[in-house]
Amino acid sequence: MNNMRNPLFLHIPLAEKILFVKHLSIMVKSGTTLLDGIELLRKQVRSSSFKYILTSVIQDVKNGQFLSDGLRKFHHVFGELFINVVKIGEESGSLSENLTHLAEELKKKQQLRAKIRSAFIYPVIVLIATFGVVGMLIFFVLPKIIPIFTSMRITLPWTTQLVVTTSQFLIQNGVAVFFGCIVLIVIWILLLRIRSVRFLAHRVILILPFVGQISKMANTAEFTRTLGLLLKSGMKIVEATTITAASVSNLVFQKALREAAETVRRGESFHTYLALHDHVFYPTVARMIEVGDATGTLEPNLFYLADFYESEVDELTKNLSTVIEPVLLLVMGGLVGFIAISIITPIYEITQSLSK
């Protein structure tokens, strides 16, 4: 273990976590001891980070500790949901079942992330292509044409003057502009490390058109599925809501769920709090949770809500390309067309004057 990486830099892909949980569940269910199962899986994993973690966990289990205690040392890798589902399974004797449920929910979480990520691939490609074409015109085409305009000493249209001025500025200060952009990106990343700034950024995301709708639905699906899984595992509502708050990615949802947990701790109803904060939670969520509380079907209702909002995210992400594609193409065509016309117009005027 001394030759392995420092735990501060450990990272395990979600896909590897899913395989580990799924395989460990099968082994425990088939009668394999927990220690033997983990040792066997350590030999199979490819990630050096995971090998480091499992080596540490195996040593803890050999020393008589729970698996969840060993995983908790790597809280930044696994998160509250993962560790607590394992812990509840160990305490209740249903580790195999809990691991199976955890694998299923992690798989659905992975699929949801993949859908959202894939929805933004096309817009990013179009933007990169746009910057590439514009950059080629500014740095390679215009420098060869500008001297012609200068030597002719003609009055250029304002569009051409704008393009020429921009081109000259970027050519002369291109390196400074490039590093300036890098500095701004680094400053933004550092600012996002400040919780209050990140909270504000997450709030802004939620109110953005279309993107905010996707974010709200994705976080709703994540919190309802996580809460449903924890309740199904045998956890009480207050503790489950607190852990769920730490599991969701959006800080606005985190704050609201922590407040909801405190509300329930004081003896008030969970659904009432959600209904009063409809800027974060959909009214449908509050209503379905209220019905679940009244009829004893809270867990199935939470899983239904998760499936519903995941399907809504799926539909929105499918429509995202349809909505954004014409806008991006219009912007790209307009920008490239503006530069092209700015170049062609004075050339046309020059040829016209020479033909007279």
Through-space distance between the first and last CA atoms of the chain, rounded to whole angstroms: 85
10 Å CB burial of residue 128 (0-12, 13-18, 19+) is exposed
CATH 3.30.420.40 is right for the domain spanning 7-114: no
Question: What does pTM read for this prediction?
Answer: 0.75
Q: Which tokens is 203 given? A: 């709030």
The continuous run of DSSP H or E covering 89 comes out as helix 75-92
pLDDT attached to residue 184? 94
How far is it, in rounded angstroms, from Cα 4 to Cα 326?
Answer: 50
In which band, very low, low, confident or very high, does the pLDDT at 2 lie, cut at 50, 70 and 90? Answer: very low
d(CA 77, CA 12): 7
Tokens of 298: 């809270």
Q: How far, in Å, CA of 259 to CA of 245, rounded?
A: 9
Task: List, as own/partner pairs, every contact residues 9-14 make where C-beta atoms lie below 8 angstroms and the sequence separation is at least 24, other chains included.
Answer: 10/49, 10/52, 10/53, 10/74, 10/76, 10/77, 11/49, 11/77, 12/47, 12/49, 12/50, 12/53, 12/77, 13/47, 14/106, 14/109, 14/110, 14/113
- pLDDT-derived band at 210, boundaries 50, 70, 90: confident
* Residue 1 confidence class, pLDDT cut points 50, 70, 90: very low
Residues 216-232 have a mean pLDDT of 90
H helices of 153-250, in order, are 158-192, 195-207, 211-232, 237-247
The DSSP output letter for 139 is: I
* Interval 266-278: pLDDT, tens: 988 899 999 999 8
Q: State the average pLDDT over residues 230-259.
A: 90
Write out pLDDT tens, residues 14-36: 888 999 999 999 998 888 888 99
Give the span between the Cα atoms of 243 and 65, in whole angstroms: 22
| pLDDT computed for residue 301 by the predictor | 94
- For every residue of 190-215, DSSP letters joined together read HHHTSHHHHHHHHHHHHHSTTHHHHH
The residue ranges of every structural domain in the chain are: 7-114, 120-356
Token pair of 229, please?
Answer: 């899984």
pLDDT digits (tens, 9 = 90+) for 59-86: 999 998 999 999 988 888 888 888 888 8
pLDDT at 308: 93
Could you read off the pLDDT of 313-353 as tens digits, one per residue?
888 877 776 777 778 788 888 888 888 888 787 777 767 66
Tens-place pLDDT, residues 112-163: 888 778 777 877 888 888 888 888 888 887 788 777 777 766 677 788 888 8
Q: Which residues of 151-180 are buried (b: 16+ CB within 10 A; e: fewer)?
A: eeeeebeeebeebbeebeebeeeeeeeeee
- Distance CA(139)–CA(168), nearest Å, equals 9
Does residue 95 contact residue 28 with C-beta atoms inside 8 Å? yes
Residue 355 has a pLDDT of 59
Percent of the chain at pLDDT exceeding 70? 94
pLDDT value of residue 356 = 55
DSSP state string for 28-82:
HHTT--HHHHHHHHHHH---HHHHHHHHHHHHHHHTT--HHHHHHTTHHHHHHHH
Q: Are 8 and 34 in contact (CB under 8 A)?
A: no
Asked if the model's pLDDT at residue 179 lies above 50, the reply is yes
Give the CATH class of 120-356: mainly alpha
d(C-alpha 124, C-alpha 106), whole Å: 27
C-alpha 11/C-alpha 49 separation (Å) is 6
pLDDT-derived band at 5, boundaries 50, 70, 90 = very low
Mean pLDDT of the chain: 85
Picking from 52, 94, 55, 86, the residue whose alpha carbon sits closest to that of residue 69 is 86
CA 307 to chain centre: 18
